A and B are shown apart, each in its own frame.
Chain A
Amino acid sequence: MSVSNSSVTRMPVPLALAARVLPLLPLQVLLNICLGEIRSRHPRIFDRLGSHTSKRYGLEPTDLPIAFVLEPRRMNPRITAVRTLPSNLDARIAGPLSALIGMTDGSYDGDALFFSRDIHVDGDMEAVVALRNAIDDSRVDFLSESVVWLGPLAAPIERLLRSIVGSSSLRHEMGAGGGG
């Protein structure tokens, strides 16, 4: 549970409920296309990860009924959508989707989210710290870069996604550290 003055937004309940019936296979195909795009645009992420490219990360949006297993292999990175995270992970990062996205686009500071209890981390902390630093340096804009392959549909779909998780500028205004 986060501290009482947390400013991190949560996914609206109707959307979270809708995600329960979201088919995972098409989502997974889309996510892996996105990951391929990010890999080609941000090769430095893998340099910063170093030996941690072999780790398995569990990413758990706590306001959604789905989670993701990230395997950031340099040659063939993979992300798998799951209903429940498996136990054979090296590390787990859990928190509201907007917090997880906000850490990738630089609008939230991961340490501050930890202090405010908005995110939870466990497992191999070296792997967690390396991933956080690699992503932070990359300036990857996950939402924007995830839809770039959609061509003319990219802009409206990006707007839709941002309306769901909150724009990065709004997160900045709400306090980069979370917790006010």
Chain B
Amino acid sequence: MELICPAGTPSALRDAVAAGADAIYCGFSDETNARNFPGLNFSRAEMAESIAHAHDEGALVLVAINTFARAGGFELWQRAVDDAVDAKADALIVADVGVMEYVARAHPQQRLHVSVQAAAANPDAIQFYVDRFNAKRVVLPRVLSVPEIAAIAKAVKCETEVFIFGGLCVMEEGRCSLSSYATGKSPNMDGVCSPASHIQYREENGMLVSRLGEFTINKFANGEAAAYPTLCKGRYQTSEGAGYLFEDPSSLDATTMLPELKKAGVSALKIEGRQRGRAYIERVVRTFRQALSALDQGLPVPSDALRGLSEGQSTTVGAYKKTWR
């Protein structure tokens, strides 16, 4: 199984390569990618230099152009595709069918991956992308159990990639409007979930209070691990008491699921976190490279080594084990 690692900057990409990534995914500094954060991402020159470096070291680079093209602004997405192809990207990760159609038509030799943002969660949807746009791989949304992933991998004529570590969405990838509702900006259209421009942190009566736009998202007591101020992971007051209504602030860690994912026929394992620093990238990539080596040698896979890097300092295997069913 390939290890697919995030990079938000050229330095992070170099660290991911050095730590043992088989491939690195990254994006341009604009709203064509779903991590459009201040100070993050790659200029055109940085992308070309970084791809050349990765290739010298035997790693691949996958360029994420995975937001949905804005009406009247399609040229931005076309230019991103053209520039990524010119920079010798090994694959493009795309969510929008219009952008996929452009890739297939203008650059038929370019390898195409279906982004998790496309929310392709059944064999028919995936096969559509394969048949229509010659997609070679699908990044599966984090809504599927391992048996469901195995059934899909068996049924489709393309590779499958699944997330194994990092921030976890509320299982509506590509369809979530919570950030848009609160701030007017969304990961789908603008490349930002809960944008920094709308976030406030305040100390109130000894508690850390996080707000997003007009909404109080959470209050953390002294000594309690904090989390991102996303609406899906907010703690809300209801008639039943205060609690996490949608999802606990927790990160995905599927280390213990690696043997089952291998058995399921998964081709590639993805680490989330292009917005994270080099320290996160280096440590998570190195840890999973060691885990995969152990797996290949039939040794026990070490687990729970990354809790300190996780949101809320807690981890989950998410939908891979649907214990709530």
Report which A residues bind B (CB closer than 8 A).
Answer: 1-5, 7, 47-50, 52, 102-103, 106-112, 114-117, 120-122, 125-134, 136-139, 172, 175-180
Contact = CB atoms under 8 A, between A and B. Distances in A.
Contacts of A5: 308
Nearest to B195: A126
B284 to A, nearest CB: 9
Interface string B187-208: 0000000011101111100001
Interface string B22-42: 000000000000000111100
A59 to B, nearest CB: 16
Interface stretch (B87-95, B119-127, B169-177, B218-226): B218-226
Most buried by A among B276, B279, B283: B279
A1 B223 contact: yes
Given A47-B43, A109-B309, 19 more contacts: A4-B223, A48-B39, A49-B39, A111-B276, A111-B277, A111-B280, A112-B279, A116-B226, A117-B226, A120-B208, A129-B37, A129-B38, A133-B40, A134-B39, A136-B11, A136-B277, A137-B11, A137-B39, A176-B283
B311 interface: yes
A107 B38 CA distance: 21
Interface in B224-259: 224-227
Q: 3 tightest A-B contacts by CB?
A: A133-B39, A137-B9, A177-B308
Contacts, number: 137
Nearest to A107: B279
Nearest to B280: A109
A74 to B, nearest CB: 14
B155 to A, nearest CB: 37
- Chain B interface mostly helix, strand, loop or mixed? mixed
Nearest to B314: A115
Q: Using C-beta atoms within 8 Å of the partner chain, give the interface range for chain B.
A: 35 or more
Interface string B99-132: 0000000000000000000000000000000000
B12 interface: yes
- Chain A interface mostly helix, strand, loop or mixed? helix
21 contacts: A3-B313, A7-B308, A106-B279, A106-B282, A107-B279, A109-B277, A109-B279, A111-B276, A112-B280, A114-B226, A115-B226, A115-B313, A117-B220, A117-B225, A125-B199, A125-B200, A129-B38, A132-B277, A137-B11, A176-B279, A177-B280
B182 to A, nearest CB: 14
A175 B208 CA distance: 24
Interface string B207-221: 010000000000010
Nearest to A137: B9
Contact of B312 (A47, A115, A122): A115
A117 B307 CA distance: 14
Interface of B: 8-12, 15, 37-40, 43, 195-197, 199-203, 208, 220, 222-227, 275-280, 282-283, 306-313
Contacts of B283: 109, 172, 176-177
A98 B277 CA distance: 16
A3 B225 contact: yes
B196 A126 contact: yes
B277 A110 contact: yes
Nearest to B312: A115
A5 B15 CA distance: 27
A166 to B, nearest CB: 14
A133 B37 contact: yes
Nearest to A92: B201
Contacts of B202: 122
Contact of B12 (A47, A111, A136): A136
A126 B39 CA distance: 9
A41 to B, nearest CB: 14
Contacts of A108: 277, 279
B282 A2 contact: no
B197 A125 contact: yes
A130 B38 contact: yes
A115 B9 CA distance: 22
A128 B222 contact: no
A177 B309 contact: yes
Contacts of B40: 129, 133
A1 B222 contact: yes
Contacts of A107: 279
A133 B313 contact: no
Contact of A133 (B9, B201, B223, B227): B9
Given A115-B312, A117-B220, A137-B12, A126 B279 contact: no
